[in-house]
Amino acid sequence: MPPRIVVIGSINMDIVIHAERLPREGETVIGSDLRFFPGGKGANQAVAAARLGAETFMVGRVGKDSFGEPLRLGLLQNGIKCDHVIADENAASGTALIIINPQGNNSILVAPGASLNVSPADVDSVAELIRQADALLMQFEIPLDTVAYAAEQAQAHGVLTIIDAGPAKKCPPDLLTKADVLSPNETEAEALVGIPITDLPSAEEAARKFLELGVKNLVLKLGDKGCLVAQEGYIFHCPAFRVSPVDTTAAGDAFTAALGVEMAKGEPLERAVRFANAAGALSTLKPGAQPSMPTREAVLDFLRERDAG
């Protein structure tokens, strides 16, 4: 039986331009290659979970505008159940402006639109779905009170709860303790515990701070340095796989979804993070957010090649 994953989160249209560098204030920079890709941290994680073999349910909102229906159809084409994707009368579809530099790194500006209307009442409408899930995945592109409420519902029923703390936001410390796994990247971790992460020692210092705040399992994403796993009395570094990225957008989403799918299947954390590192690395080899999410076969082939090499 495939694991059942519920994702409550954002659904965005990504408007992407490649540029040599970001414009400074008052400056116009000429870029190239304008493209539209389906994105949003929630929807990206749902697509990744589905391609990695999970039965996946998306809970979120789009606008009743020209982006809304294509975004919903894209999710359906990936086999994701979208009965709880609401077309919101009162808000635009979430939209992200993304600039990719020549190294494949991105800068993102998000107008969350309808995602800001994902409410505790929306969570109530999927109470039974959450109860029956093997894992609940959430991010910070919907209101934090909704994330907290859904996490409480999932925890009350013993459902594995994973919170990806992106994008960077300050949040009430007790929200961080409502998940089984909290997974920020370096900038998100800095926003949450105030420690800039520049290397492994500073990552370990931040990890210890998260544990002091009551986080149960921290999986700190470190980009090309891999990730750091921290639990009470235990810190473990899992190095990244070396690749040549063309676009790193949504690498963290591929990682979190892969972690969720593997943990929901009962894989131990150390194996799950290695699989997640591979999914994250593979996602950087193609342009766009959802189009770059890898399949399970692709991740397994990649791991076999790396093991053999």
Residues 71 and 93: beta-carbon distance below 8 Å: yes
Q: Which is nearer to ligand RIB, 110 or 203 (CB)?
A: 110
10 binds ligand RIB (CB under 6 A): yes
In whole angstroms, the minimum distance from the beta carbon of 112 to ligand RIB comes to: 8
Q: What separation in angstroms does the CA of 94 have from each of 23, 45, 60, 68?
A: 23, 15, 11, 9
Distance CA 207, CA 213 (A): 10
Distance CA 163, CA 77 (A): 25
Distance CA 143, CA 73 (A): 24
163 binds ligand RIB (CB under 6 A): no
Distance CA 259, CA 238 (A): 13
Q: Which segment (123-131, 204-212, 245-253, 257-265) binds ligand RIB by CB under 6 A?
A: 245-253
141 binds ligand RIB (CB under 6 A): yes
Residues for the chain: how many in total? Answer: 309
CA atoms within 13 A on the CB side of 222: 26
In whole angstroms, the minimum distance from the beta carbon of 115 to ligand RIB comes to: 9
Quick count: other Cβ atoms within 10 Å of Cβ 267? 15
Tracing tokens 């410390």 back to the chain, one arrives at: 173
Joined together, the tokens standing for residue 15 give: 């408007």
In whole angstroms, the minimum distance from the beta carbon of 9 to ligand RIB comes to: 9
Joined together, the tokens standing for residue 117 give: 């209307």
Shortest-Cβ-distance residue relative to ligand RIB: 39
In whole angstroms, the minimum distance from the beta carbon of 247 to ligand RIB comes to: 10
12 binds ligand RIB (CB under 6 A): yes
161 binds ligand RIB (CB under 6 A): no
186 binds ligand RIB (CB under 6 A): no
- 301 labelled catalytic: no
44 binds ligand RIB (CB under 6 A): yes
74 binds ligand RIB (CB under 6 A): no
Site for ligand RIB (CB under 6 A): how many residues?
Answer: 16
Distance CA 257, CA 142 (A): 17
Instruction: Spot the catalytic one: 88, 253, 301, 307.
Output: 253
What are the residues binding ligand RIB (CB under 6 A)? 10, 12, 14, 39-41, 44, 96, 108, 110, 141, 249-250, 252-253, 289
Catalogue the active-site residues: 253
